[in-house]
Amino acid sequence: MAVRPIIRYPDPRLRQRAEEIAVIDDSIRILAEDLADTMLAAPGIGITAPHIGILKQLVVIRLEADRVTHTYVNPRIVWSSPERIRHMEGSVSMPGVTDELDRHARVRVSYRDLDGEEREEEAEGLMAVCLQHEIDQLDGIFWIDRLSKLKRDRLIKRFEKLQRVRV
């Protein structure tokens, strides 16, 4: 449908909790399509409504290997494995920088689909990492908040330098 502008770090909306979506109507379905288009244009493999400045609990994920777009309304992690994995992460709101984070290797997520149906799904590996990352975003936890202060400060400096170069 449309590629929307992505807000950039340090926009304060990236650290605000998104509101639950009470009614799934055509406006939410259009928003989901716009998020998918925006994510692919960024490029990225996951995006939330807060990334475009809309504080609603909507997530879209499309892994390169999968080629299927997954949409989650009001997602919640209901179980996570004790096993952990490390994975490089970044954000469409902070392009050009990444760092390694520690996440649960598997998660189970409850959510509603775009028809309003309650669903539950289990994910592992990259999909589990993406779900944790995007659900954090809906809770107002920007991915760099999971880094040590030293790593976070270094990454922010690197990002600020990249922004100066691009201007």
The answer to whether 4 and 52 have CB atoms below 8 angstroms apart is yes
Catalytic annotation, pick one of 20, 83, 134, 160:
134
Q: Which two tokens stand for residue 159?
A: 């990002």
User: Which residue, chain included where needed, has tokens 């954000």?
Assistant: 91
Coil, strand, or helix at residue 36?
Answer: helix
Work out the end-to-end distance of the chain between its first and last CA atoms, rounded to an integer number of angstroms.
Answer: 29
Give the DSSP H or E segment for 126. Answer: helix 125-138
Is 134 one of the catalytic residues?
yes
The answer to whether 60 and 41 have CB atoms below 8 angstroms apart is no
The answer to whether 138 and 13 have CB atoms below 8 angstroms apart is no
DSSP 8-class letter at 18: P
Nearest Cα residue to 123 out of 68, 81, 82, 65 = 81
Which residues are catalytic, by number? 134
